Amino acid sequence: MRADHRAVALTAVLGGLLLGSLDFVWIKWVPYPFAELGNSTATWAVAAFAFGYLVRSGPVRAALGAAVLLVVAVPSYYLTATLLQGDDLAVVWAPTSLLWMAFGVLAGVVFGVGGTWARREGAWQVVGTALPAAVFFEEAARFAGRIGDPGRPPGAGWNVAIDVALGVLAVVLVGRSNRQRALALAVALPLAAVIFLGFAVAAGL
């Protein structure tokens, strides 16, 4: 049974509040290297994917709802930081926060729709199933680039292993057959390269 627009909206707002607040709590108290999963673009993208996959709505509602989820998560994160460690409340509307919200809209649309694709039949189902793995593999590639960098904390190899394992696990859980899982893993690699390029372009702006 498909969720109506009110249920989708409520789930998006509540999910965003939980994602942002729990993300900060995770970063603050979970030890390294697992703490990096809180400070992870892949984690937030997969949250948007899970929204589209689990809410069982159409692609338009999934896109809008997932975008709202990620946008709400940004001020929720900073409000939690204000409550738990006394950060300045002004950071909620700082330019950096607004930029993250804009990225949240983009990621919410792409991964929210991807969650609905993973429930379809045919080629789009494979692409949808590949998206969570792709975003984890892309993040693993960025961590791999930090290995041996004296300006970064040691242990990036653990982050690579964790992201790769989570990417494979996502395909195993979402895929409906071994053939579909194998195809999704193959598709995830070029998708990861596209996402990696997107981050490189964004960083250069």
Query: Considering the entire predicted model, what is its pTM?
Result: 0.90
Contact in structure between 92 and 75 (CB atoms under 8 Å): yes
Burial code (b: 16+ CB inside 10 Å, e: under 16) for 126-147 equals: bbbbbbbbbbbbbbbbbbeebe
Calculate the average pLDDT of the chain.
Answer: 88
Query: How confident is the model over 95-133, as pLDDT tens digits?
Result: 888 888 999 999 999 999 999 999 888 889 999 999 999
Of the candidate ranges 25-29, 32-36, 60-64, 169-173, the one whose mean pLDDT is the lowest: 32-36
Measure CA of the first residue to CA of the last residue in the chain; give whole Å.
Answer: 43
- CB burial class (10 A; 0-12, 13-18, 19+) of residue 155? middle
Query: How confident is the model over 63-107, as pLDDT tens digits?
Result: 999 999 999 999 999 999 888 887 777 887 888 888 889 999 999
The Cα–Cα gap between 166 and 150 comes to 27
- Identify the pLDDT of residue 203: 65
- Identify the pLDDT of residue 205: 54
